[in-house]
Amino acid sequence: MRISWVLFFAFTLSETVVSARVLPAVAEHWKIELRATALNYRGRPDPGIKVFFRQDGPQCGRCHVARGVGGDIGPSLMGFARKYDRAEAIRSVLEPSERLANGYTSVVVARRTGGVMTGLVRHENDTMLEIVDVEGKVHEILKSDIAQRQVSEASIMPDGLVDQLSDEDFRNLIEFLMSLDGPE
């Protein structure tokens, strides 16, 4: 069976779609504004920690470790600011798919038994593939059940996570990332 990859991606994106995506002009507008505010003005790292971890926020801490706490779906951000500057911190958050962190390329898998799945490969052997999805759920897929498999160019880090943040919250979040310059 031949499957259209356009459909795969439409399906994948529909999972992470945010209101701003529906209207690209609006999406561009908030990105330009957030980028400008965080490039031109300093924030405060301490309130930024709350933005990073709070439940009703973008939930960065669900996927990333920072200051020794957090989930492990994405890379640890400990020492992030030793490797990257402010512009790259901003870009990482606003456009996750522009540069994928080493080892975090995701795959899109279409199953013979139906359904398409996107995630990070956690384990693989001759007969099965284990992937972790954006929710952190682990899926074991038998290789004999895989109709098609493709490396995805998109990050599993959702786009538009910060579109509901105020300028101040965003500046504080970026300042928090820039404070991650030590072992924690």
Binding site for ligand HEC (CB under 6 A): 58-60, 62-64, 73-75, 77, 80, 89, 92-93, 96, 100-101, 104, 134, 155-158, 161-162, 173, 177
Q: Which is nearer to ligand HEC, 112 or 123 (CB)?
A: 123
Q: Which is nearer to ligand HEC, 100 or 121 (CB)?
A: 100
130: DSSP letter = E
CB of 36 to ligand HEC, least distance (A): 18
Tokens of 69: 């706490």
Q: Which is nearer to ligand HEC, 3 or 184 (CB)?
A: 184
CB of 23 to ligand HEC, least distance (A): 21
Please measure the distance between the N-terminal and C-terminal CA atoms of the chain and give it in whole angstroms. 49
> What's CA 8's distance to the chain center, in Å?
18
CB of 105 to ligand HEC, least distance (A): 8
Q: Which is nearer to ligand HEC, 3 or 136 (CB)?
A: 136
CB of 2 to ligand HEC, least distance (A): 29
Q: Which one-letter amino acid corresponds to residue 2? A: R
Tokens of 88: 């790259």
For residue 155, give the nearest of 97, 76, 98 by alpha carbon.
Answer: 97
Tokens of 41: 């003005």
Tell me how far apart the alpha carbons of residues 84 and 75 are, in angstroms, rounded to a whole number.
Answer: 14
